[in-house]
Amino acid sequence: MQTSKALSTARRAAPNRTDSVIGLGVALLVLVLAGSRAGAKLPWIDDPQRLDAVAVGLVGVMAGAVALRRRYPRSVLVVLNAAALAWSAVHYPSPLVPLVPLVACYTLASLRGWRWGLAGAAVTALTAMAAIRLAFDGAAPAGITGNAMWMAFTAGAAGTAVGYNRALLVATRAQLAREARTREEQSRRLVVEERLRIARELHDVLGHTMAGISVQAGVGIHLIATRPAQAVEALRAIKQISDEGLTDVKTILGILRADGDEPDRPRAPRGGLDQLDALLDPVRAAGVRPELNIHHDARPLPAAVDLAAYRIIQEALTNVVRHAHARTVRLDLRYEPAQLVIQIRDDGPAPGTGPRDTGGKDGHGMSGMRERAVALSGRFTAGPHPDGGFQVLCVIPTPDQAG
């Protein structure tokens, strides 16, 4: 906060210092030209008056006004025109003084817009006409009045153009800043979404893998003494499940390490409805009888839909194995023209407030399934079935395959 205030103060101080230098330069030029013979030789004043304390005071007023031109542009316009008028009335020599009010005319137009610029140019032109009459006692050279008016309105037009250009630059910078903030917000949102996606993948992979290992380990422990051959099969199944899980975890971690310049790197672990049999094996090993029904002809699905459907079924079956205490589970897949309907129903005891209601002890399984469906504009419901057991129902659109 203090740094920003210091920068703001520095930005305001820089133009003030510049204006002070300009005011000092104007004062020196006026005094040098007025004190030299060049000012007396120019046909601006017939009988120039020598410089005195009043002249020095007027020069000081003009220098101070120029130094304050950005702070008080309207007041500075009045002061400079009045000083120029007084200078001409006393017949002090200098061809530069009538030009000093043009600085205020330009400044007013650049800071306040074309309306104030037009008003300032009109005031400056009228003041110049009055100063010319006073300086030449009503006998001004031909064309000098027109030149004075032309310079006044030119200064106003130049200030207006500069003001519009500054406003355009400010608007452009503001627009670029807004676009930069929007890009940053989008980048942050994409990062969050990617983290959530990876978290869902890890949850599903680890949950399914650990559930399968737990089931097979239980089988092995139960059979190792009486049926060693089947216990060995259970150990082989544990090895296969753990190897597959490790492969998926390595894929996910590889995504985290990717620099974005490896287009061939897989963006998600393997998974698809063509691998449903692998999901049903741990269910059978757990003593739950699965029933798979595919309605209508199975067809290739968009990659995002295929993976989401696989993960939803994987999580639902994992919950059945871990929490349902069911004897059977029925999986129905309906390949409708514009959507895929997934229905998973078990015959376990009616749930109350146990872990199955939230999708496991961590509470993320059910929300993860819902997020996958919603991300693809789908619908997801889960809860007790009227005829008993628990049901998961998910509908995912496949719009590119409609019709």
**Does residue 184 fall inside a structural domain?**
no
**Does residue 203 fall inside a structural domain?**
no
**Does residue 53 fall inside a structural domain?**
yes
- The per-residue pLDDT for 359 is 47
- The per-residue pLDDT for 42 is 44
* Residue type, position 245, single letter: G
Inter-helix orientation angle 144-223/114-136, to 10° = 160
In angstroms, rounded to a whole number, what is the distance separating the alpha carbons of residues 319 and 291? Answer: 16
Q: Which of 87, 119, 141 marks a domain boundary?
A: 141
- The per-residue pLDDT for 344 is 94
Nearest to 200 by CA among 315, 328, 325: 315
In three-state secondary structure terms, 341 is: strand
- Full domain range(s) for residue 399: 288-403
Q: Which of 120, 141, 162 marks a domain boundary?
A: 141
**Does residue 198 fall inside a structural domain?**
no
- The per-residue pLDDT for 17 is 83
Q: In what order do the strands lie in the sheet with 379-384?
A: 289-295, 328-336, 339-346, 390-397, 379-384
Q: Which of 90, 115, 141 marks a domain boundary?
A: 141
- The per-residue pLDDT for 39 is 47
- The per-residue pLDDT for 239 is 75
Instruction: Give the position of tokens 């897989």.
Output: 266
**Does residue 327 fall inside a structural domain?**
yes
**Does residue 105 fall inside a structural domain?**
yes
Number of domains in the chain: 2
pLDDT per residue as tens, the chain (403 positions): 444 554 455 555 567 788 888 888 888 888 887 766 544 444 444 556 677 888 888 888 988 888 898 889 999 999 999 998 888 888 787 667 888 899 999 999 999 888 998 998 999 999 888 888 777 766 666 677 888 888 889 999 999 999 999 999 999 999 999 999 999 998 888 888 777 777 777 777 776 677 677 766 776 777 777 777 777 777 777 777 677 677 777 766 666 665 544 444 445 555 688 888 888 887 887 788 999 999 988 888 888 888 888 889 988 988 888 777 889 999 999 999 899 999 999 998 865 444 444 444 445 678 888 888 888 889 999 999 888 889 999 999 987 654 4
**Does residue 15 fall inside a structural domain?**
yes
Strands 339-346 and 390-397: antiparallel
For the residues of 47-81, what is the DSSP string, one character each? SPPPP-HHHHHHHHHHHHHHHTTTTSHHHHHHHHH
- The per-residue pLDDT for 105 is 92
**Does residue 252 fall inside a structural domain?**
no
Q: Which CATH number covers residue 374?
A: 3.30.565.10
